[in-house]
Chain A
Amino acid sequence: MKEEIIIAGFGGQGVLSMGKILAYSGVMQGNEVSWMPSYGPEMRGGTANVTVILSDDRISSPVIQEFDTVIILNQQSMDKFENAVKPGGILLYDPNGITHPPKRADIKVHTIAATELAGKLGNAKVFNMIVLGAYLKLKPVVTIENVVKGLKKSLPERAHKLIPANEEAIRVGMESVE
């Protein structure tokens, strides 16, 4: 198994932490992993993205130019990364704020209304976990059990009480992906 993913959106949407939880989940099931963020001035209110690779074998380059899955959470990222999906790969996006939906016909396009669903759940902070749930429904590269283990490992002890709400959000995401 080798899965190359980029998650791209606004700074503050939980893009980097979603990638971190995914990477930790991979560690929990014995995968090789790499997590490479965009960093720098663009994080302050601008766009943020993270490349995550999960693999059974040693990962050569953490820097890659095309992806099995591209997860897009704002229009700027759509403009930048629609063409970075490998032919036959997956593009998953939240339609909220997207003015120009993807046009490519050689990839599988899915949507997850994560902004809207997070509002319904009354917890904007679980937005990224809804997206993660949707992704894992499409590409079950890690099990929910390993995601929970990953959450435990990546969150400080005092935040462990939030894990059930995150699990619930992942489940909502899994049920709602289109």
Chain B
Amino acid sequence: MEDIKLLKGNEVLAIAAIRCGADGYFGYPITPQSEVMETLMDERPWLTTGMVVLQAESETSSINMIYGGAAAGKRVMTSSSSPGLSLMCEGLSYLAGAELPCLVVNVARGGPGLGSIQASQADYFQLVKGGGHGDYKLIVLAPNSVQEMNDFVGLGFDLAFKYRIPAVILTDGIIGQMMEKVTLSPERPRRTEEELAKECGDWATTGRKASRGKANLANSLFLDSVDLEQHNLHLQKKYREIEKNEVLCEQIQVEDAEYIMVAYGTSSRICMKVVEDMRKEGHKVGLIRPITLFPFPTEIIAKAAEHSKVILSVEMSAGQMVEDVRLAVGCACKCRVEHFGRFGGVVHSPAEVYEALKALM
């Protein structure tokens, strides 16, 4: 029998990091994700795999430690919650500019400001659209179960290294705090220095001397604007490639749906129940769940809009992802696009979403 565990989303992030051969975790405690570092401290991976676990003095420090580890080609990770991510945004822009791979987790809570400690999905703009300065993108993964919290740690690292880009797991206090059954990933050892040199030797600062060819440099400073434009064109090309290759999306009963909800993470679970309840009553309702928020499943939504009357974007925010849904649907399409969501740490119940959708029928 497989080893099935009952774990919190936050706990499994820590365990998955160790099992998928992470080299380091740097973080600073904040509710509702403090169990990530607590679990790492309990597991003491520095005694087994050699993984470093370090509590930095702030989120600003954590993200810059990530910059250092990533520049050396190491598989490094941090996690925080919304206000902490705001502090990390400068670092994220630098990581994106210097094309450094890493994994960043946001177990989001209500904002703005210090906000609340309850679950929220109001950090979509922050991580999908920017947060930091400049024309950059992050790969953003949105798990909706504890199992996906486990799976997306390995996936996040793989995508980050494949494209040399920071990958983000954007989740919230519900999935972080909730326990579900989870099958852990198979253990994979940390990379040896030789493996690292082979995989990342053409960019990582592995200690190669200048006498053995050109030294690698982690840099996001281009004082010549023409050079910076070229660098940006290179980044944009990479983002288009990611959009082409890496879209992940789950579709539930969309084929014949006249009314479609679009929701990610916790909201998608709530909407799954609404689909069940509405289908029982004979309503043709479906759900599109973006698993990657960047790249966004634009084409899938556009295609579904052709046969649906209404698309309802359901998020625990005042309406952020709905902008991307509107762009996907386009103004030429007759399908109406609306938003529903409670926010500020309030989680909408299935009944509230049901009523909101019913009102549009």
Check A135 for interface membership: any CB of B closer than 8 A.
no
Q: Is the CB of B179 within 8 A of A63?
A: no
Return the CB mask of A146-159 against B: 1 if under 8 Å, else 0: 00000001100000
Query: What is the bound-complex CA distance between A27 and B178, given in angstroms?
Result: 15
Q: How many residue pairs, one in A and one in B, have C-beta atoms under 8 Å apart? A: 67
Q: Is the CB of B273 within 8 A of A64?
A: yes
Query: What is the bound-complex CA distance between A59 and B266, given in angstroms?
Result: 13
Contacts of A62 in B (CB 8 A): 174, 178, 180, 269
Query: What is the bound-complex CA distance between A64 and B177, given in angstroms?
Result: 16
Contacts of B178 in A (CB 8 A): 34-37, 62
Query: What is the bound-complex CA distance between A64 and B234, given in angstroms?
Result: 47
From 328 to 361 in chain B, residues with beta carbon under 8 angstroms from any chain A beta carbon are 347, 349-351
Q: Is the CB of A36 within 8 A of B177?
A: yes
Query: What is the bound-complex CA distance between A52 and B178, given in angstroms?
Result: 10
Taking a contact as CB atoms closer than 8 A, the residue among A27, A41, A61, A66 that contacts B6 in the complex is A27
Check A33 for interface membership: any CB of B closer than 8 A.
yes
Minimum CB–CB distance for A110 against chain B, Å? 26
Q: Is the CB of A63 within 8 A of B349?
A: yes
Chain A, interface SS category: mixed
Minimum CB–CB distance for B143 against chain A, Å? 13
Q: Is the CB of B269 within 8 A of A60?
A: yes
Contacts of B269 in A (CB 8 A): 60-63
Known: A23-B179, A27-B181. A61 touches B174 (CB 8 A): no
Closest to A20 in B: B179
Q: Is the CB of B181 within 8 A of A65?
A: no
Q: Is the CB of B117 within 8 A of A41?
A: yes
Closest to A35 in B: B179
Minimum CB–CB distance for A121 against chain B, Å? 28
Contacts of A23 in B (CB 8 A): 6, 179
Query: What is the bound-complex CA distance between A60 and B4, given in angstroms?
Result: 19
Known: A34-B179, A35-B178, A39-B32. A24 touches B6 (CB 8 A): yes
Taking a contact as CB atoms closer than 8 A, the residue among A27, A34, A61, A154 that contacts B270 in the complex is A61
Check A32 for interface membership: any CB of B closer than 8 A.
yes
Contacts of A59 in B (CB 8 A): 180
Minimum CB–CB distance for A114 against chain B, Å? 24
From 50 to 102 in chain A, residues with beta carbon under 8 angstroms from any chain B beta carbon are 59-66
Contacts of A64 in B (CB 8 A): 273, 349-350
Closest to B276 in A: A60
For chain B, the bracket of interface size reads: 20 to 34
Contacts of A40 in B (CB 8 A): 31-32, 117-118
Query: What is the bound-complex CA distance between A37 and B269, given in angstroms?
Result: 16
Q: Is the CB of B350 within 8 A of A65?
A: yes
Return the CB mask of B255-280 against A: 1 if under 8 Å, else 0: 00000000000100110110110000
Q: Is the CB of B349 within 8 A of A35?
A: no
Query: What is the bound-complex CA distance between A60 and B266, given in angstroms?
Result: 10
Closest to A153 in B: B6
Query: What is the bound-complex CA distance between A40 and B180, given in angstroms?
Result: 20
Check B286 for interface membership: any CB of A closer than 8 A.
no
Q: Is the CB of B272 within 8 A of A27?
A: no
Query: What is the bound-complex CA distance between A33 and B146, given in angstroms?
Result: 11
Closest to B252 in A: A60
Among A24, A36, A60, A153, find the residue whose CB has the most chain B CB atoms closer than 10 A. Answer: A60
Query: What is the bound-complex CA distance between A149 and B31, given in angstroms?
Result: 32
Contacts of A37 in B (CB 8 A): 177-178
Return the CB mask of B95-137 against A: 1 if under 8 Å, else 0: 0000000000000000000000110000000000000000000
Query: What is the bound-complex CA distance between A23 and B350, given in angstroms?
Result: 22
Query: What is the bound-complex CA distance between A154 and B117, given in angstroms?
Result: 27
Known: A27-B181, A36-B178, A40-B118. A61 touches B273 (CB 8 A): yes
Query: What is the bound-complex CA distance between A95 and B3, given in angstroms?
Result: 41
Query: What is the bound-complex CA distance between A20 and B5, given in angstroms?
Result: 12
Contacts of B179 in A (CB 8 A): 20, 23, 33-36
User: Could you list 30 A-B pairs, sorted by A, with CB under 8 Å?
Assistant: A23-B6, A23-B179, A27-B4, A27-B181, A33-B6, A33-B179, A33-B181, A35-B6, A35-B179, A35-B180, A36-B177, A36-B179, A37-B177, A37-B178, A39-B31, A39-B117, A40-B32, A40-B117, A40-B118, A59-B180, A60-B269, A60-B273, A60-B276, A61-B350, A62-B174, A63-B269, A63-B270, A63-B347, A64-B349, A64-B350
- A residues adjacent to B (C-beta < 8 A): 20, 23-24, 27, 32-37, 39-41, 59-66, 153-154
3 tightest Cβ-Cβ pairs between the two chains A and B:
A60-B272, A61-B273, A35-B179
* A27-B4, A62-B180 given; 18 more Cβ-contact pairs under 8 Å: A20-B6, A20-B179, A27-B6, A33-B6, A35-B179, A36-B174, A36-B177, A37-B177, A39-B177, A40-B31, A61-B273, A62-B269, A63-B266, A63-B269, A63-B270, A64-B350, A65-B349, A66-B351
